[in-house]
Structure 1
Amino acid sequence: MHALWPVSPPLVPIAGSREGFPVRRIYCVGRNYVDHIREMREGDERDDPFFFQKPADAVVPDGAKVAYPQATGDFQFEGELVVAIGARCRDIRPEDSPKAIFGYAAGIDLTRRDLQKVSVAQARPWEPGKSFDGSAPCGPILPRERSSGLDAGTLVLDVNGDVRQRTRLDLMIWSVPEIVARLSDLYTLEPGDLIFTGTPAGVAAIHPGDCVTVRITGLPSLTITIQEQL
């Protein structure tokens, strides 16, 4: 039996290379900054961060125009550090996690906040609010060997030049090595997996015409423009 159409994985550009990073899965960390937990009032600050997923084809690259999604009246940004996995790992220790990391990128976890709030209120999965077309913008991936200073780095997100989010990456509740290790306890991580590591406070609605940019110390920036619903 033959496939009716070819299926190719989405590619994220690799900084300094003509090659792309084929995306296999997208994992996201929820509630990984205390100030965002306080902002959203959805959980206890003592709760562990948790994980949810987005479809691989939700990825859109730097410079993309993202259509305002259907079924929402509260479309919001969440600026995040993204970790790209480059080696298969299972039950890895935090101190060994660099062996599994290919590189890092700037990302945006786009969210239909009103749908997410309904899911939270009904104790249902977050997919309606999180997993939709174009919901995972990701900038070019900088290979790990060329990345430095992330532990002491900052993340800044602006909308139309107005800074909305600013944080230090060392304020994450779970560090990158801890996130990779914990995920590898739950899933077999494979080359091509992306991990969005959580967002700080400052999330807010965006609208058609808005330009959203994320800058993370030492990494290529990510910029998207929101356009009218298609």
Structure 2
Amino acid sequence: METAKLLKTIADSVLNMDEEAAANYVKQALEAGIDPMVIINEGLIAGMNQAGKLFEENEYFVPELLLCSDAMYAGLNVVTPHIKREENLYYGSVVIGVVEGDTHDIGKNLVKVMLEASGFRVYDLGRNVPAKTFVEKVKETRADLLCLSTLMTTTMGEMKKVIDLLEEEKIRGNVKVLVGGGPVSSSFARSIGADGYGENAAGAVRVAKEVLGIPQTRAS
């Protein structure tokens, strides 16, 4: 099966909520020599993006979206061990999590995978994380970067709360803050004092390197 067709089949498996098919086609793609990052971006994430569009159009609802994410994770579990990590490189430590009030962590999990593959040590706090917990972890790990995610407009304000708390604790100058998620934009990021905005998982790695002053590699 040619590359484009195989990637579309992976995307369709996610869209059709078929975990077994997603895992099997990802395995086939790896055996065919397709780059793991291409499989993730043009197969698994592409399928999840299509599911997101159907959700916005009220053709899919939360149960369908969750089943699509299960299929995506089934494929991700197969491909992740094959990602070529940037060996002998350490770009710094990252604290990442979904802000308080939000339990949607698909995007956050993808960003975590991409950051780890790119040479970062990632401390994942999970979802529904209070501002205080983010700040405490930044202090504990002396993180270079803090990544905040949300998929809900109602919890976007939590991002500013975290940044304000960093200021109160007088450690804002020690850590760069990157924000992302469905309703988030670059203008919103600027308005709350964040250092950068990641539109998607691949973009988050690029922006992370930019704000930390790390030279870009061809892979990122």
Instruction: Tell me, yes or no, whether TM beats 0.5.
Output: no
Bigger strand share: 1
Question: Normalising to structure 2: TM-score of the pair?
Answer: 0.26
Instruction: Point out which structure has higher relative CO (alpha carbons under 8 A, 6+ apart).
Output: 1
**Please, what TM-score do these two structures have when normalized by structure 1?**
0.25
* Higher percent of residues as helix: 2
